[in-house]
Amino acid sequence: MSVTALTAQDAAAGSSGRAKALRRSKRGRLFTLRVVLAIVITLIMFFPIYWMLVTAFSTREDLYAPGLHLVPQHFTLDNFATPFARFPVWQWFKNSAIITLLTTVITVVVNLLAGYAFAKVPFRGRNALFLILLSTMMIPVQAIMVPQFTLSIGLGLFGNIWSVILPESAAVFGIFLARQFFLAIPDELIEAARVDGAGQFKTFFAIVLPLCKPLVAVLVLLSFMNEWNALSWPLIALFSNEALFTLPLGIVTDLKSQYTSDYGAIMAITLLAITPMVVLFLSFQRYFVQGLARTGIK
């Protein structure tokens, strides 16, 4: 369907001038149709986000009046002020930030180390271990939430943020990304460092890791996204402890259940909650695309 293919088709056909003109106008119309379709689809896809924005800055009266009111008629910040006054929204932000950052750091570090071992350090049972880890990648929280719950009580983690951070750091998706990236690094480079007397760890930290900035970026962004957006496990681990609520948890349990009809407030806080992800995505799109295309979504 690409343009080059169509041009080649014309050349090969060697058609008469009139037929050529006809085809060109047909191609022109097809092209216009493609552009229009693409714009329409994009607008439809973007509309819900836009609607979140409109809702967040509209007055309650406008929102609940019939009709479409596609732009805020009476601009207001009340939707932000009210929930901030009633709920510890800043605390949610803070909890989300702390939990997300710690989880990201731990996940990325342990995944990088393990990925390197699987790619470059031979050891007995490497393939078997790799398969075992691979088989845990798709397990959903709900399959193991009960034992995780009893376990975090047993380990004395329950009731503090580590009951979220440690289980969520037990991620394996990064190992596969890391392993793949490390495999592409030439063995000669590592051998050379070893010959120069560097140990495995020095080689890893001083020689290999500095070459892996894109990998680290992908891992950091994906881990950050997973944890910033996480609901399933925090819902169980933190439910009884309102002071530790994260943003998704606060939105679902506090905002939504007590404000069921005040969508202005819900959309305002949700807008704040998605902003960091949207900004990160727009700034580092390439890495998100690469990472997500390789691991699927977790």
Partner 1 sequence: MATTRGGSTVPVADGAGAGTLLLPREGGVRRRRGSMAAWTFLVPNLVLVVVFLLLPLVLAIVISFQKRQSLGTPEFLGINNYLDLFRDGVFWRTLWNTVLFTICTVPVGMALGLGIAALLNGVLPGRTLYRSIIFLPLVISGVATGVLGLWMFDQYNGFVNNLLAVFGIVGPDWQSSGGWAMFSVILVTLWQRVGFDMLIYLAGLQGVGSDVLEAASIDGASGWQKFRRVTFPLLGPSTFFLLIMNLIYSFQIFDTVFAMTAGGPDYSTTMLVTYAYRSGFDEHGSGQLGYAATIGVIIYLITLAITVIQWRVNKTRDQLG
Looking at residues 140 to 159 of the shown chain, list those that interact with partner 1 (rule: CB under 8 A): 140-151
Cα–Cα distance between 55 and 70 in angstroms, integer? 10
Residue in this structure with the two tokens 């090969």, named with its chain if needed: 12
Q: Build a one-symbol-per-residue string for 250-279: x at contacts with partner 1 by CB under 8 A, - elsewhere.
A: -xx---x------x--xx--x--xx--xx-
- Please say which residue, 70 or 81, places its beta carbon nearer to partner 1: 70
Q: How far is the CB of 18 from partner 1 (least distance, A)?
A: 20
Distance CA 178, CA 189 (A): 17
Q: Does 192 bind partner 1 (CB under 8 A)?
A: no
Count CB neighbours of 167 within 10 A. Answer: 20
Rounded to whole angstroms, the Cα distance separating 194 from 224 reads 34
Closest CB to partner 1 among residues 91, 200: 200
With CB under 8 A as the contact rule, the residue among 14, 17, 186, 296 that binds partner 1 is 296
Q: Could you please report the per-residue DSSP string of 45-69?
A: HHHHHHHHHHHHTS-HHHHTSSS--
Q: What are 17's two structure tokens?
A: 């001038």
Looking at residue 87, its amino acid is F
Tokens 């710690």 appear where? 102
Cβ contact 120:126 at 8 Å: no
> What is the separation, in whole angstroms, between the first and last Cα of the chain?
33
**Alpha carbons 245 and 94: distance in angstroms, whole number:** 9
> Interaction with partner 1 in 50-109: which residues (CB under 8 A)?
51-52, 55, 63-64, 66-68, 106, 109
34 binds partner 1 (CB under 8 A): yes
User: Measured from the CB of residue 131, what is the shortest distance to partner 1 in angstroms?
Assistant: 6
81 vs 142 by CB, closer to partner 1:
142
Please identify, using beta-carbon distances, which residue of 8 and 21 lies nearer to partner 1: 8
Tell which residue, 137, 106, 166, 146, has the closest CA to residue 236. Answer: 146
Q: Note whether 111 binds partner 1 by CB under 8 A.
A: yes
Instruction: Select the span of 76-84, 85-93, 196-204, 209-217 touching partner 1 (CB under 8 A).
Output: 196-204
Interacting residues with partner 1 between 236 and 255 (CB under 8 A): 236, 239, 248, 251-252
Question: Which one of 19, 21, 22, 35 is in contact with partner 1 (CB under 8 A)?
Answer: 35
**Binding footprint of partner 1, residue count (CB under 8 A):** 115
Q: How far is the CB of 38 from partner 1 (least distance, A)?
A: 5
Min separation Cβ 128 and partner 1, Å: 9
CA gap 111, 226 in Å, rounded: 15
CB 5: neighbour CB atoms within 10 A? 9
Q: How far apart are CA 80 and CA 87, in angstroms?
A: 11
Supply the minimum distance, in Å, between the C-beta of residue 228 and partner 1. 7
Smallest separation, CB 248 to partner 1 (Å) = 4
Decide if residue 9 touches partner 1 (CB under 8 A). Answer: yes
Taking the complex as a whole, how short is the minimal distance between the CB of residue 8 and partner 1, in angstroms?
5
Tallying the residues shown for the chain, one arrives at 298
Q: Which of 178, 179, 263 has the alpha carbon at shortest distance from 219?
A: 178
Query: Among 97, 105, 166, 207, which residue interacts with partner 1 (rule: CB under 8 A)?
Result: 166
When the beta carbons of 98 and 292 are compared against partner 1, the nearer one is 292
